[in-house]
Amino acid sequence: MEIAVVGAGLMGRLTALSLTRQGYQVCLFDKDNKQAKQSAAYAAGGLLTPLGESMSCEPNIVEMGFTSLTMWPELLATLDEKVYFQQQGAIMVSHEHDSGDYQRFVQHIARNYDQHIVKSLNRLQLAELEPELAPYFNQGLFLPSEGQIDNRMLLIALQKQLELEQVNWLTEAQVSQINNQTSHCQLTVNEQIQYFDLVIDCRGVGARASFDVKQPAFPIEDLRAVRGELFHLFAPEVHLTRPIRLMHPRYQLYIAPKPDQVYLVGATEIESDDLSPMTVRSALELLSAAYSVNSGFAEANILQHISQLRPAFSDNQPKVLVDQRLIQVNGLYRHGFLIAPVILKQLLLTVSQLNKSTITGTSK
């Protein structure tokens, strides 16, 4: 079976590589180059923190997150390039004047996820786990099962693996039309028509029905964009080893330590499809909050500040939509890296079922 994968962000790369290894003939199309700087995956924090996300998502997302945490090491072991992956837990903290949000989170975990081990820390215990937090916080909540992955290292590793395994990858390829029919699926790519047995659409917000004046190929209804913003900081005076979440009345700040003394700092989540640069207000809030966690960030170098759009449905649930010879994978929202292995497994099962049924037009 000849399969086209449209979109080479996180899901597109995982899908193309997995299907190639299963013996399918795969062609990967993307409007971007191989660096994927236009993708939501490039602008992600790479946090694998299901409990940390649990107050802002449904329980099934938390469950998928824990399942994915067990799947990531096995998936990464199939790549030739090493990818930074850590599962040493995460710590939730709050300043004294914001302790109400912190206590609500503690109660939420106790009420809904008491099967998972968490540990309340006093200042001394906090100092044992993360010494540089103790001067700023009297207490914290340790979530020992949480982890993180370096999103950009993974994108690069997947790129090199796709090239090594000789997947046909067309960059700067604009898919302007998908003609989904019973006998085949027709793509118009850079004004050239190509035919496939199956098309898998992984374009994220690029598949929205109202994305721009030019309607996208086979648009998805009920898909919206949620703007996310983050900083990449080089902070040699900061020595945090785990993801840190700071509870705040307006947002949850996250600080994710990466190799070579680089830290990702993010939090803002805006219901907007605006891709303009970060505002002064957002920048001040993010950097001031980071400084309140560790004053060493005052001397950090700003390597990059970035904004990107995440795709989400109205219920904030991911979906694998099947219509004849077209599969659309979308709506991973802010949980892309957290749930990607589970979504990939579901997608591969769907492809296998369609292949066995010779793609009879079944829709679900």
CA-based torsion, 113, 265, 331, 173: positive or negative = negative
Burial class (CB in 10 A: 0-12, 13-18, 19+), 319: middle
Which pair of tokens denotes residue 197?
């047995």
Give the rounded distance of the alpha carbon of 84 from its chain centre. 15
Token pair 């994927």 is found at 36
In the chain, where does the domain assigned CATH 3.30.9.10 lie?
90-144+224-312
One digit per residue, the tens of pLDDT, for the chain of length 364 reads 999 999 999 999 999 999 999 999 999 999 999 999 999 999 999 999 999 999 989 999 999 999 999 999 999 999 999 999 999 999 999 998 888 889 999 999 999 999 999 999 999 999 999 999 999 999 999 999 999 999 999 999 999 999 999 999 999 999 999 999 889 999 999 999 999 999 999 999 999 865 444 567 888 889 999 999 999 999 999 999 999 999 877 777 899 999 999 999 998 678 888 889 999 998 999 999 999 999 999 999 999 999 999 999 999 999 999 999 999 999 999 999 999 999 999 999 999 999 988 654 443 3
* Domain at 2-42+153-222+315-356: CATH architecture: 3-Layer(bba) Sandwich (3.50)
Per DSSP, the residues of 142-155 read EETT-EEE-HHHHH
Q: What φ, ψ does residue 96 adopt, rounded to 5°?
A: -55, -40
Q: What φ, ψ does residue 77 adopt, rounded to 5°?
A: -65, -15
DSSP class of residue 32 equals S
CB 298 within 8 A of CB 291: yes
Those residues whose C-beta lies under 8 Å from the C-beta of residue 46, and which sit 6 or more positions away, are 148, 149, 150, 151, 154, 256, 264, 337
Decide yes or no: CATH 3.30.9.10 for domain 90-144+224-312.
yes
In this structure, how many other beta carbons lie within 10 angstroms of the beta carbon of residue 231?
22
* Separation of alpha carbons 132 and 295, rounded Å: 9
